[in-house]
Amino acid sequence: MQFILNLLLFLLLLNSSSSAAEWEKVKAKDSITLYEKKENKFNFSQFKGEVLLEHPVHRIVNTIMRPLSYPLWLADCVYAKRLFTATLKVHMITQPPWPLEQRQVLLKVKKKKHDGFTMITLNSITPQFYFRKSDAIWFEFLNAQFTLVPISKNQTVVRLELAAHPGGSIPQFLIDKTGWMIPYQSLRDLKNYINKIHKKES
């Protein structure tokens, strides 16, 4: 009965998100479904990916809330360190594909548990200081949202929505054309990372 209720909740969330946001399916790859939304408050494409992981929700929450793991699964991330502040803040450096230069961002990470799902947001904030000296270009902004919906004891649907402008002089058409790769690579590598970690534990 609980499985049915959780599945209905997920379908309701998916339907309301899709209708309000006008997401368009762009492709499916490696069991990950990818969507794009062209018209939005950011004036350029947003992207979303969805995947089913064969793991309980708490495992996935623990991974996303552990910044040291980001270079192992978050797309393009080569460095992530938690700042010693009361709230969870993370300084992150990314290395996009050649010939693009490194980017950096200061993120505020928040988790909120709702009735039937958990939401984790990673939102860029004004960079006041950081722990690693770097000449990397600062993101103009980055907003990422993970929605985790358990549909059984050991199955969780993970949805990642992303809106970002990496700063610098990257043409907007290139951002829009390749943006789907970020949620795709992140969800693919998150799945592989959790599978590998918990295979070792079993």
CB-CB contact of 39 with 19 (8 Å): no
Q: Tell me the pLDDT tens digit for each residue of 26-45.
A: 999 999 999 998 765 656 67
In a domain, 5, yes or no: no
Q: What is the mean pLDDT of residues 140-164?
A: 95
In a domain, 1, yes or no: no
pLDDT band at 51 (very low <50, low <70, confident <90, very high): very high
pLDDT at 9: 44
Mean pLDDT of the chain: 85
In a domain, 12, yes or no: no
In a domain, 101, yes or no: yes
Q: What is the mean pLDDT of residues 71-75?
A: 98
In a domain, 4, yes or no: no
In a domain, 42, yes or no: yes
- State the Cα–Cα distance between residues 38 and 45, nearest whole angstrom: 4
- Structure pTM? 0.84
Name the domain count of the chain.
1
Q: Which CATH number fits the domain that encloses residue 60?
A: 3.30.530.20
In a domain, 60, yes or no: yes
In a domain, 82, yes or no: yes
Q: Tell me the pLDDT tens digit for each residue of 102-146.
A: 999 999 999 999 999 999 999 999 876 655 567 889 998 999 999
Question: 172 burial class (0-12, 13-18, 19+ CB within 10 angstroms)?
Answer: exposed
First to last CA, the chain: 29
pLDDT at 178: 75
